[in-house]
Chain A
Amino acid sequence: MRLLINKIVLGLSTLSALIGLGFLAWILITLFIKGLGSFHFSLFLNDLIDGGLRNLIVGQFILAGIAAAIGIPLGMVAGIYLQEYGRSRYAGLIRNLSDIMMSAPSIVIGAFVYAIVVVPSGGTSGFAGAIALSIMMLPIVINTTDNMLSLVPRELREAGIALGASKYRVILDIVIKAAKVGIMTGILLAFARIIGETAPLLFTSETSNYFSLDLSESFPSLTVSIYDLANEPEESSRDLAWAASFILTVLVLTINLTGRYFTRNKKR
């Protein structure tokens, strides 16, 4: 009887794993079939107005890139504060708030940036979108830096101090280097996450059909355009949305896997 129950439960568990994987395989296969079906290299050469995706891909990278340029240094320095300087209750509070911020609804962050940037500046802009993404990225980078620095052995810091180096030099020259791989991985995962975000961009950068490098105007975004295209009645728009989704997913997964590859090499 016990053995029977055991078998049933283990069977159910394996079955649910299969169901879960089945769903996920279904999504990926759909994406590959639909995406590859509409995929063509000319998509990289034309802008959306001519039925291509070039401006959107470039735009998405620029938005995420600027967000990273803002979010990474701030997040790293903040993470350093939490791990190396903050022994106080204040640091504990910031750590908790940062964790909470990491899970805050992204659309709310979009609304926040809308209120503080878009409304005062008179309209949607690439800059507003990048700010929204950088707010998304900040807590992830803080969390990663904080965790990775905590793995660096105390002796390493003490050895640096014993050589007569000042604390910030020890941190920047020794501690950060020791934790480099872990932090890099975390940052790549954070980048992979924000480059696929849609909700915070909807009313900050919006999107544009044209190629643009002007951050003070509505800025082309791959994800926002996917949302628009997918809801259009024409089959051709939807096909384009699938191709864009395919490119986006390949991009996100590639960045993600690259990050994992680094940590895996380190463990060996």
Chain B
Amino acid sequence: MEKIFRNLAFSSASLVFVILIGIFITLFLASKDSIDEFGLGFIVNPNWNTEISLSNPNANMDMDMDMDDSSASDDMMMLDDEDDMPAEADTMLFDEDVKDTFTEYGGLVPIVGTLLSTIIALVFALPIAMGIAVFLAEIAPKNIAYPIGIAIELLAAIPSIIFGMWGLYYFAPIVADLVGGYQVSLLTAGLVLGVMILPFMAAITRDSMNTTPDVLKESAYAMGATKFEVIKDIIFPYSKVGIIGSIILALGRALGETMAVAFLIGSIFTLPSSITDPTISIPVAMANNFGEAAGLGESSLFYLALILFIISFAIISIAKLYFLRGAK
């Protein structure tokens, strides 16, 4: 009996390993067609679902416009980017001489969209989250910090789809009024993503700050330090590693977030020329195109998923293994 239970426990734990390896292998196999076809050049190729005439690769662009947002359709022909097409993709094009057109998929636009929206979210959320964390850990008296802390944690639990809806119908119009540009854009998507990771980031940063021993703070106050000096010279250095780990963890969340971004980024495969332009991110590309995609298109979506999985795996590993080691 003991032995059975032990083996059962071992198998369940190993399931984690199996699933992670399974995800990796499955994504790889499912994207194999696309990997074979486009190679690593996929990452820097800005075209998605673009038919290219083999005789003249620069003509006959047909962007996929399957989103119902028609407001942003004029300025998206990025013909000049065509010259940047990597050499290996070119050679592959000419290998194929059966058809005279060729549908090309490249991941640059969603990759750039994912990274930029995450960066905007971080730039926006980081200072506010730090402020909230400092407020909760050091400024507010306990009887205020406690309920506010719970409120912040509860808000981190609100489903992301709700942030998306609120962002689209209430937040984006105001942002667009203030800075101009489209309501669905990299900027509004990034900002809503920022609002979404804000409570998460604030809560774990506060937890890191709270690990600073009271006596260490007291001994700085006992030297006549001001609160700000204690925060800057004692608490931040002491909990630095934990705070950085928390930020990276929030970054990992932002990278893989689908629903909050899906409402706002515009879902068009075009490189944004300014941050108020619509574009697309990897999770949104998957969410909106998976249903209709087939063949090389579906394989390319899996390729994107593989890229996203590797990026977030790497980022979270760094956060966990390097920064949050032993911070239990």
Binding site for B on A (CB under 8 A): 2-3, 5-6, 9-10, 12-17, 19-21, 23-24, 26-28, 30-31, 74-75, 77-78, 80-82, 84-86, 91, 93-94, 96-101, 103-112, 114-116, 135, 138-139, 142, 147, 150, 166-168, 189, 192-193, 196-199, 202-203, 223, 226-227, 230-231, 233, 238, 241-242, 245, 248-249, 252-253, 256-257, 260
Contacts and interface: CB of A to CB of B under 8 A. Distances in A.
Contact of A16 (B23, B128, B321): B128
A78 B9 contact: yes
Contact of A198 (B139, B150, B159, B170): B159
Nearest to B1: A168
Given A96-B320, A101-B20, A260-B150, A112 B226 contact: no
A91 B290 contact: no
A91 B12 CA distance: 12
Interface stretch (B87-95, B96-104, B248-256, B269-277): B248-256
Interface stretch (B76-84, B215-223, B309-317): B309-317
Contact of B226 (A2, A98, A202, A230): A2
Contacts of B247: none
Given A9-B228, A13-B139, A86-B13, A196 B256 contact: no
Contacts of A75: 12
B136 interface: yes
A119 B193 CA distance: 32
A107 B256 contact: yes
Interface string B1-42: 110011011101111110110110011011000000000000
Contacts of A104: 23, 256, 309, 312-313, 316
Contacts of A97: 16-17, 20
A27 to B, nearest CB: 5
B162 to A, nearest CB: 5
B320 A198 contact: no
A107 B157 contact: no
Given A94-B13, A105-B257, A107-B256, 20 more contacts: A13-B130, A17-B136, A20-B129, A20-B152, A20-B199, A75-B12, A85-B6, A98-B16, A99-B316, A100-B320, A101-B16, A105-B309, A107-B286, A111-B286, A115-B30, A135-B19, A202-B258, A226-B161, A230-B165, A249-B158
Contacts of A28: 155
B157 A193 contact: yes
Most buried by A among B12, B286, B290, B313: B12
21 contacts: A19-B131, A23-B195, A24-B152, A24-B195, A27-B163, A77-B12, A81-B6, A94-B14, A96-B320, A101-B19, A103-B252, A104-B316, A111-B301, A112-B27, A115-B30, A135-B19, A223-B161, A241-B165, A245-B162, A249-B159, A253-B154
Contacts of B313: 100, 104
A138 B161 contact: no
